[in-house]
């Protein structure tokens, strides 16, 4: 038995060396394609002018940290979830609260608006993702209509509807992502590949979307937890925000990181990122209570926004790009 084990260890070591060799070969190959930096190419692009961005709306009503939010396709409604266990739907334009649901657990870390605008999904420490239909009847007890859709073995970190109300994608602290059918609660597909908690997810912006399956690409350049990922509007690239205080842009076609957005004076982690409609601006919500706005192509910071009194935990640009909303540990949301 002992010799078998030794043999096993040897093959394992052998395999590991093979893996290492492949990795360096891959790096070499990729480096060959790295002929220029994005910001160098972007030098010929016109610079952006000064921006005046102000808080236009402040949504108050949560009793504790706001953890997550999402926009409705109608561009004015927002759903937000908080550590106080409440999920609230607001008409952000008028700042009215339209619905409120109390979840049985605190720390509701994920919430999402259905594309039709008729339902919201949320979850967190309860390890589940539940879908609540939104009814216009104010007297109806929404909690009674709740549908439990997803089950994970650890906390739910993010959820998102796919192109319809019928399917939801979830990610969890148990290291997996999963696709569920909303009506039946059936698990349609499961995605493994992460070695640790999955903190966030985003879907490519294409209309069709059955590209689920194997892990296609992998990127490892951040030095710490990656808290947020978001696709670039064309779907060819994505940005990430991390505890190492940087945001990075990765291109899927070049299969590498193409830009880093960082500054010596930014030492707190990024909790959430999103692009403006054209992809020219990248907004990052930081744990130092600020929002930094980056010029995606040139790699420079365009603006820094103050206003929140505690960490910015979540940030999303509205579907038509007219505004972006942030949620914070200071119990408020701002647009």
Partner 1 sequence: QIEDIVTRIQDEKAGGVAIRTVKSFLSKIPSVVSGADIVQWLMKNLSIEDPAEAIHLGSLVAAHGYIFPISDHVLTLKDDGTLYRFQSPYFWPSNCWEPENTDYAIYLCKRTMQNKARLELADYEAENLARLQRAFARKWEFIFMQAEAQVKIDRKKDKAERKILDSQERAFWDVHRPVPGCVNTTEMDIRKCRRERNPHRVKKSVYGVPDDGQSQPSPIHISSQPTRKPTKEDVQKEITFLNIQLDRHCMKVSKVADSLMTYTEQFMEYDPFVSATEPSNPWISDDSTFWDLEASREPSQQRVKKWGFSLEEALKDPAGRDQFLKFLESEFSSENLRFWLAVQDLKRRPLQEVASRAQEIWQEFLAEGAPSSINLDSHSYERTSQNLKDPGRYSYEDAQEHIFKLMKSDSYARFLRSNIYQDLLLARKK
Q: Which of residues 256-315 bind partner 1 (CB under 8 A)?
A: 256, 258, 263-265, 267-268, 276-281, 288-290, 296-297, 304, 306, 309-310
Residue 131, interface with partner 1 (CB under 8 A)?
Answer: no
Dist CA 64 CA 218 (whole Å):
36
Closest distance to partner 1 from the beta carbon of 139 (Å) = 27
Question: Which residue's structure tokens are 């790699």?
Answer: 299
Tokens encoding 274: 């999103």
Interface positions, 43-62, toward partner 1 (CB under 8 A): 45, 48, 51, 53, 56-57
Q: Which is nearer to partner 1, 202 or 274 (CB)?
A: 274
Near partner 1 by CB under 8 A: residue from 8, 104, 140, 190: 8
Which has the closest alpha carbon to 67: 97, 110, 27, 116? 110
3-state secondary structure of 225: coil
207 lies in the binding site for partner 1 (CB under 8 A): yes
- In Å, how far from its chain's centre is CA 323? 17
Binding mask 223-262 for partner 1 (x = CB under 8 A): --x------xxx-xx-------x-----x-xxxx-x----
Tracing tokens 């619905």 back to the chain, one arrives at 99
- Quick one: which segment of 96-104, 130-138, 143-151, 211-219 binds partner 1 (CB under 8 A)? 211-219
* Contact of 142 with 132, CB cutoff 8 Å: yes
Assess 4 for contact with partner 1 (CB under 8 A): no
CA distance 110 to 125: 10
In whole angstroms, the minimum distance from the beta carbon of 97 to partner 1 comes to 18
Gap between the Cα atoms of 279 and 107, Å rounded? 31
Name which position in 5, 139, 218, 220 contacts partner 1 (CB under 8 A). Answer: 218
Query: Which letter does DSSP use for residue 144 in this model?
Result: G
């Amino acid at each position: 038995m002992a010799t078998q084990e030794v043999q096993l260890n040897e093959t394992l070591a052998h395999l590991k060396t093979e893996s290492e060799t492949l990795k360096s070969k891959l790096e070499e190959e990729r480096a060959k394609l790295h002929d220029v930096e994005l910001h160098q190419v972007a030098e010929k692009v016109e610079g952006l002018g000064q921006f005046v961005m102000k808080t236009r709306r402040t949504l108050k009503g949560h009793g504790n940290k706001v953890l997550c939010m999402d926009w409705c396709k109608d561009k004015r409604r927002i759903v937000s979830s908080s550590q106080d266990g409440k999920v609230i739907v607001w008409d952000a334009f008028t700042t009215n609260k339209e619905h409120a649901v109390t979840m049985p657990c605190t720390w509701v870390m994920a919430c999402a608006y259905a594309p039709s605008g008729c339902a919201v999904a949320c979850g967190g420490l309860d390890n589940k993702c539940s879908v609540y239909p939104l009814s216009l009847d104010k007297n109806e007890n929404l909690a009674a209509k709740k549908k439990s859709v997803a089950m994970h073995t650890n906390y739910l970190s993010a959820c998102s509807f796919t192109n319809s109300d019928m399917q939801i994608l979830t990610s969890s602290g148990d290291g997996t992502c999963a696709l569920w059918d909303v009506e039946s609660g059936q698990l349609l597909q499961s995605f493994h590949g992460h070695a640790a908690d999955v903190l966030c997810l985003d879907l490519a912006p294409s209309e069709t979307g059955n590209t689920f399956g194997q892990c296609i690409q992998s990127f490892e350049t951040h030095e710490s937890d990656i808290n947020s990922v978001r696709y670039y509007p064309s779907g060819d690239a994505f940005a990430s925000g991390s505890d190492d205080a940087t945001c990075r842009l990765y291109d899927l076609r070049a299969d590498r990181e193409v830009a880093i957005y960082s500054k010596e004076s930014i030492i707190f982690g990024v909790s959430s990122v999103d692009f403006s409609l054209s992809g020219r601006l990248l907004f990052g919500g930081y744990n130092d209570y600020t929002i930094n706005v980056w010029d995606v192509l040139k790699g420079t910071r365009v603006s820094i926004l103050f206003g929140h009194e505690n960490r910015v935990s979540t940030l999303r640009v509205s579907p038509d790009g007219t505004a972006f909303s942030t949620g914070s540990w200071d119990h408020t949301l701002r647009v």
